[in-house]
A and B are shown apart, each in its own frame.
Chain A
């Protein structure tokens, strides 16, 4: 077979062809021309692909100006041109890239595909890799367009809302991606303006327009304030990861994103904000003191909850280190605050009575409170007791735990619900929890009973019942202490 015969009737030996594309993103046109040229067996180095305003394929053997514009007609018996689906998918994207060499590159791969139909599988081939890379860049650009187009609402003369966006894509993707926005905003009137051309959707048909300028788009939208508030609020300053943000939202996009103007101040404020979160959350209480004297000193300066700010003094627990029994009340009262010792007021005197009756030696026990400061409100000249809140109890737990770690009691007796919460970290009902031991987190043993001040507030039959329960709880504790002492 002679070369002339193989090339077909209309192809002259040594001819060079120049294909002028009508638009930089016209894949269908390229496909049709490439198909014809392959059928005429025109090798890649004999074709230049020229997009509007371009100079063509720089790698072509000869300058485009000398190329023939009339393309040969394929012979009637030419075999059909074949390409794998993968090539077609990659080529559709690659064609939208701004690289001027893309059409020539695609033609070379298509040419080679005729000899090796499985060429696209060879990911180590430099040309296959190159078109895959170009396609990937285009897909990323399209994905970023889906993500970063920001519409602004303007009212048309007829009163209908019109949503207009300004976007700057890297590649020729606007026409191809218009369909995505049509499917998503089918019942909305919208326009996307870009320096590479514009698309307009009126709810029924799509129109294409010329390249636009940023000033053609509206400059703001009232909803953007709400959006910025959302952006600033959903950001967690405790997890600053600027690199991760920049890799997905590079700075080149920032100028068209209304929320991006907040980024520098959010980053600058993050460290300060986290420090504030930590301190207002009382998380940073430092090391736990290792001695009772250390705890005593620390609680006097503790201002981790508002009770510490009141006109009062911290009251430290008292009793020997290594005491088998630790008795925990709620908080110091008026008299305890003045005396600086726990359980010296009316409730303390009542407690002493019951302890004596149960045969428990108070001086051998460690007696303390859940909350170290007296919480009160002024009523005339009197300081009226206020119950501590769960939050305050949980904060003060830090000191109670420190005392417990130093004293190491074998049994802890909680008087009242506040003390039980301070030791357990959750609220329990006294009536349900009393009478049997509960396990503490570290394996310690906790008994729960009412606070003696509760008995002071009752009278009549209720008092009798509760007093009996209280006495029997103390008796059970005494029995258990003897068991533990072995």
Chain B
């Protein structure tokens, strides 16, 4: 960490356009936060002017409001409903197409991906971790998704270190923020006070260093680094929520029969919003279609939510017909089984599922309630029970 701070530079607010210039010159498509329809979304950006200057958000369970800031911060907010996921793992993708051949058979070809290389500008540390979580899903040694792998390897990542936290944020609990120490090409910390508006910048890769070399910048002085550290501290202090991850895998493995799921069923609409905004959810369905002639067929892959009954359908019915079992599948997967599947938690503490749940279900609160209810059950049983779990 000392090594990276030693190399840190400072880019002034007015020189930040140089970042876009350098990336566009390298044929990257810059993607980042911008204001649209009353929300901060991610979209393709032309330059600094497209960033949400002077905007912030008020987020809480089932609440999102865009608000004006008193200052002209470019990254003075946390996370809208968009994760970076759609750019690496598109919500709809054509995987291949096939043509009938005169001999009665058919030939198939993989559909080439026309997407250019993306430069992600303003990736929050939690979202950077989310990308790494999806890397483990789509770029596993045994099985690689070619679409994801190509896009990921081409992408350029500019992290924005958090200087504030929303009420829904809990990255400190998940150990994913509010500061990223690596895994990026460049990382910016926005410094904004009475006499300066600048960005402390660190390069995390050779590609990042080469882009940085083209942006006018100066060497970071100790007071710049102190200001960056103060940003991180401010975000930590503002952290809106906590999730006690102590033994959470065993807790949830032991809670399949908890009475809490019945309570959740009364509130959860099974709308799937949490899975759509989640930066790590990766489940899909496929759709095989033909054109009217019947000689041309395609396979499309779509995001799918574990909240649909179709998700687990096998002949005869759905494996999880009740909402309680579908919410349980989502939560236990996210926080427990994910660890056995991919060696990491499936939750990065971004808080999107809390904000965008139409009825404000808060997983940090649900885990707390499950923990309390298990504790009471154990106390009633007169002993502390070892939870059986499936890790081998």
Q: Do A and B bind?
A: no
